[in-house]
Amino acid sequence: MIWLWSASAKSLVRFHAHTQRMHVSTLTLNDGNKVPWIAFGTGTALYRQDVRHPVSLAIQSGFNHLDGAQEYENEEFLDAAIVASGKPRSELYITTKLGTLQAGATPKSALEESLRKLQLNHIDLYLIHHPKSHVGRLKEVWKGMEETKNAGLTKSIGVSNFTPDNLREILEDATIPPAVNQLEVHPYLLNALQLNLALHKQYNIVTSSYGALSPLVRGEGGPLDPVVENIRARLERTRGTPVSGGQVLLKFLQQKNILVVTTSSKAQRMDEYLDTENIPDLIPEEIQEIEAAGAKLHRRFFPRCWPPE
């Protein structure tokens, strides 16, 4: 990944992002609710960490979608950051995820515990974090997820890391289909996810991406690099202000109506992610070039979240 930014350019981008950040666009879920297309995640490097500072920075930067999980073990810190921000609850979109159920627990009781930690009376999106945590019980657990929505504890329900087989299993008896499936999604996996994406389209399930920037930050030297760099340079010329390679990939996913979860501990990087909203659209030929380059390499950066291939 090549960064060609001087200190003055960085300042310009930060100023540009703050002055133009008036609106984060949304995606419409299959239950009619809307979700901001980009979220600040509190997992990965922030796993089991005190996230008060980075979440406060994220909210200050303009993130209104905060993505947490019971497994991250930092929901109390997420609450503290929300309170400290002074941001009205109505202006925030909160996601959390169901972890492994303890004996006697249900998705509803687990969410009630999360709500206690978050000091909230409801969240916006509740996901089953890993199907492997509920082997042989997915239908039962999904019924429990439906119960949380019907009880008003969450506005929407969905899943994470679900394969096509996992999705088919719960859809057989579901009265409420998942609104979201959060997966590792980037150009190096688009071919491998075709069956997933077809089911998502059939049931109007929003695809959510984590690890979106992995091809650039974890997989440097791959076939995407020169394609992204050419598009980055074109967008920068068109825009007249700096554009990063990361923004190219984020814009690519945004134009595919994919919900992106990303994270950072740096305010400048947060500004950059949110500023993706303001850069020009990729043209169809550029989208095709990214897809073609991605198809040249199959690479998963979070293999523990997916069955062996």
Active site residues: 72, 129
Residue 38 sits at φ, ψ, to 5 deg, of -130, 140
- Please report where in the chains the tokens 């690519």 appear, as a residue: 252
Burial 124-156 (b: 16+ CB within 10 A, else e): bbbbbbbbebbeeebeebbbbbbebbeeebbbb
* Contact of 289 with 232, CB cutoff 8 Å: no
Burial class (CB in 10 A: 0-12, 13-18, 19+), 285: exposed
> How far, CA to CA in Å, does 125 sit from each of 4, 49, 76, 146, 217?
38, 22, 17, 12, 28
Instruction: Tell which phi-psi region holds residue 119, choosing left (phi > 0), alpha (psi between -120 and 50) or beta.
Output: left
